[in-house]
Amino acid sequence: MHNGFAIVAGLVIFFAMLTAPFALGTMTKQYKEPELKLPKNEKECIESTEWMRNNHMQLLNEWRDWALRDGKRTYTNHKGKEFTISLQNTCMKCHESKADFCDKCHNDAGVSPYCWDCHVQPEGLK
């Protein structure tokens, strides 16, 4: 084989780099979900925790259209309980802190939704 050494060395380096993230990943710590500060006075969210974890973004997206565009501001959850549709006045009345609730996961996941460009977080604006 012409230039055999160079080719094999190149392949070794290539595969080492290709698999490096996996190798490094097993060596370093396991990813842990951030610990959120849950509401003190409420035990249950408007839907189940699992459902909210997966679907809160779709729910908020639908809420904003329902409230603002359709003028329908009362939401009935899967159990038949009614809530007023409002990020600022319903969600954030229980989740008293944006920094301790929203931001923790969003920062971890590298997501920055622009909800708070307009809506006022419970901590108030600086």
Partner 1 sequence: MKNSRRTFIKLAGIAAAGLAVAPRKVLASGGQEPVKVNATAVHAKHWAMVVDTTKLHTAEAIDKLAAVCHHIHNVPKIEGKKEVKWLWHDTYAHSFPEQENPHLAEEVHERVFPLLCNHCENPPCVRVCPTKATFQRPDGIVAMDYHRCIGCRYCMAGCPYGSRSFNWGEPRLNLDLANLNPEFPTRMRGVVEKCNFCVERLAVGKMPACVEASEGAMHFGDLKDPDSEVRKVLREKFTIRRKPSAGTEPSVYYII
- Which of these segments, 2-10, 29-37, 98-106, 115-123, binds partner 1 (CB under 8 A)? 115-123
Q: Is 77 in the site for partner 1 (CB under 8 A)?
A: yes
Of 1, 22, 43, 71, the residue at the interface with partner 1 (CB under 8 A) is 71
Q: Is 72 in the site for partner 1 (CB under 8 A)?
A: yes
Burial of 63 (0-12, 13-18, 19+ CB in 10 A): buried
Q: Is 112 in the site for partner 1 (CB under 8 A)?
A: no
Strand-pair partners of 94:
none
Q: Is 69 in the site for partner 1 (CB under 8 A)?
A: yes
For residue 39, give every residue at least 6 positions away whose Cβ sits within 8 Å of its Cβ, in sequence order, or none: 94, 95, 96
Asked if 74 and 84 touch (Cβ cutoff 8 Å), the reply is yes
Residues between 5 and 64 with contacts to partner 1, criterion CB under 8 A: 64
Rounded Cα distance, 65 and 3, in Å: 64
Q: Where along the sequence are the contacts to partner 1 (CB under 8 A)?
A: 64, 66, 68-78, 84-85, 88-89, 114, 117-120, 122, 124-126
